[in-house]
Amino acid sequence: MTADIIRLANEYGRYGYRRIAALLKSEGWTVNVKRVERIWRREGLKVQQKQPKKGRLWLNDGSCVRLRPEYTDHVWSYDFVESRTHDGRKFRMLNVIDEFTRACTIEKWS
């Protein structure tokens, strides 16, 4: 049974011990989920981590198009930054960068 559990765990990498127990039952084994869990832990089996999805900047319908800068002042990027001073007061900053020259166009703080 241990060999079958290991085989199924390798074949179905994202399945946990409960699903493996269901697969064993469908293959004809008379098995309890707790027993599969004990064997699972004893063999050091783990479920593979799920790969994170890449964030998309736009939808496929073309609702937002990311422009490539072709000349100065064509595309700007901005970022709000918030921090605290050494005496605990809040400090906010707005940075605006020209994407073509990569120079800081505007820098404001309050």
pTM above 0.95, yes or no: no
What are residue 78's DSSP bridge partners? Answer: 96
Residue 50: what pLDDT? 85
- Residue 67 pLDDT: 76
Q: What is the pLDDT of residue 43?
A: 93
**Chunked in runs of 10, what are the mean pLDDT values of the chain (110 residues)?**
93 93 95 95 90 69 72 89 90 90 80
Residue with tokens 């002042």, as numbered in its chain: 73
Q: State the virtual CA torsion across 29, 33, 35, 36 in degrees, nearest 10.
A: 70
> What is the three-class DSSP state of 23?
helix
Distance, in Å, from the CA atom of 83 to the CA atom of 81, rounded to the nearest integer, reads 7
Domain boundaries in the chain? Answer: 2-42, 76-109
What pLDDT was estimated at residue 37?
95
